[in-house]
C-alpha cells in the first residue's frame, strides 16, 4: 500500500466505525417500551387500549385484577382521575385511555409528575373508538394531586 492511500484508509475506517456506532444506538432505541397494565378481566375497552399500545410499539404485560382501587391508591392516582385501567411505564403511571404518542412524549420529556391521566372514558380516545369522537384532555398529575393539561385531543 502506498503512503498516499493511508489517510484514505484511516478515513474509511473512521466512517465505518462511526456508522456502526450510530446503527447500534438506533437499534437500541427501537426496543419496545415495556408497560404493565392493570385491568379488569372483563373490560373490553381496556383490551382495546392494550391493542392500541401494542400497535404503537409497546411491549404490554397485562395483569387482570378484580379490584383496581388498592393498586391506584398505591400508585398515587387521585380518585377524581380514576378510569378503568392503570398502566406503569418506566416509573410513571398512565391512568385511563391515554394515547400512545402522549405516553412516548412523557417518557421523552421526563416531567416531574407521577404520571398522566385521561379521566373517565371519553369517546374517541384510544380503546373507546366509535361513531363519534369527543374532545378530551390528557392531564399530568403530581404527588399532591395537582393537575395540568399535558395534551388536548
Question: Over the stretch 37-60, which tens digit does the pLDDT of each residue have?
Answer: 999 999 988 999 999 999 999 999
Would you state the cell numbers that stand for residue 25, as one nine-digit string? Answer: 444506538
Q: Are strands 115-118 and 92-96 parallel, antiparallel or unpaired?
A: parallel
3-state SS, residue 96: strand
Question: Over the stretch 91-130, which tens digit does the pLDDT of each residue have?
Answer: 999 999 999 999 999 999 999 999 999 998 999 999 999 9
**The predicted structure's pLDDT at residue 31:** 78
**The predicted structure's pLDDT at residue 29:** 52
φ, ψ of residue 147 to 5 degrees: the values are -120, 155
Amino acid at each position: 500500500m502506498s503512503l498516499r492511500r493511508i489517510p484514505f484508509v484511516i478515513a474509511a475506517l473512521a466512517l465505518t466505525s462511526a456508522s456502526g456506532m450510530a446503527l447500534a444506538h438506533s437499534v437500541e432505541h427501537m426496543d419496545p417500551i415495556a408497560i404493565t397494565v392493570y385491568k379488569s378481566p372483563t373490560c373490553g375497552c381496556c383490551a382495546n387500549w392494550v391493542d392500541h399500545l401494542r400497535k404503537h410499539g409497546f411491549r404490554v404485560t397485562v395483569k387482570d385484577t378484580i379490584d383496581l382501587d388498592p393498586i391506584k391508591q398505591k400508585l398515587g392516582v387521585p380518585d377524581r382521575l380514576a378510569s378503568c385501567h392503570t398502566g406503569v411505564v418506566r416509573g410513571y403511571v398512565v391512568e385511563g385511555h391515554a394515547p400512545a404518542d402522549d405516553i412516548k412524549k412523557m417518557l421523552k420529556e421526563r416531567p416531574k409528575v407521577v404520571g398522566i391521566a385521561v379521566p373517565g372514558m371519553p369517546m374517541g380516545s384510544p380503546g373507546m373508538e366509535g361513531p363519534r369522537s369527543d374532545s378530551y384532555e390528557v392531564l399530568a398529575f403530581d404527588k399532591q394531586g395537582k393537575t395540568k393539561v399535558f395534551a388536548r385531543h
